[in-house]
Copies of this chain bind each other. A is one copy, B any other.
Amino acid sequence: MSDLLERLRGRGWRLTAQRRVVAEVLDGDHVHYTADEVHAKASERLPEISRATVYNTLGELVSLGEVIEVSTDGRAKRYDPNAHHDHQHLVCSRCGTIRDVHLHGDPLSSLPEPERYGFQVSEVTVTYRGICPNCSATS
């Protein structure tokens, strides 16, 4: 993600302090933040950045395919900067931690033709749930 800003500039993105900070937050720790968490982290470096800008910027990064939107719990969406490697997610049912995981085979092929009901199926997301080692230790 280090050359992300250059890539985006090449696509006509205007490079502002706010966008730079949002991109840096995502690029930093490799976790899955919510929009408001990104806003909080960004505010540490650029105190007056607004929530609207963070939401706008995240939306643009998603549209541009640089970031993936993940909604595992029906609560706040989370943003995953690991958009260039195909992967799925493993979520702890207790603490909500999310890990990126890599699957055996292509899950698209698990959906038989007669089960496609004429849809042009183009995408599949797989979410595994369970208890993480940390949580099962402290149960």
Q: Which positions in A face B, CB cutoff 8 Å?
A: 69, 71, 73-74, 77, 90, 92-93, 99, 101-105, 107-112, 115-133, 136
Contacts and interface: CB of A to CB of B under 8 A. Distances in A.
Q: Is the interface of A mostly helix, strand, loop or mixed?
A: mixed
A120 B136 CA distance: 8
Given A74-B71, A74-B74, A124-B127, A112 B104 contact: yes
- Total copies of the chain: 2
A79 to B, nearest CB: 12
B122 A129 contact: yes
B102 A119 contact: no
Nearest to A117: B99
Given A73-B71, A111-B90, A124 B119 contact: no
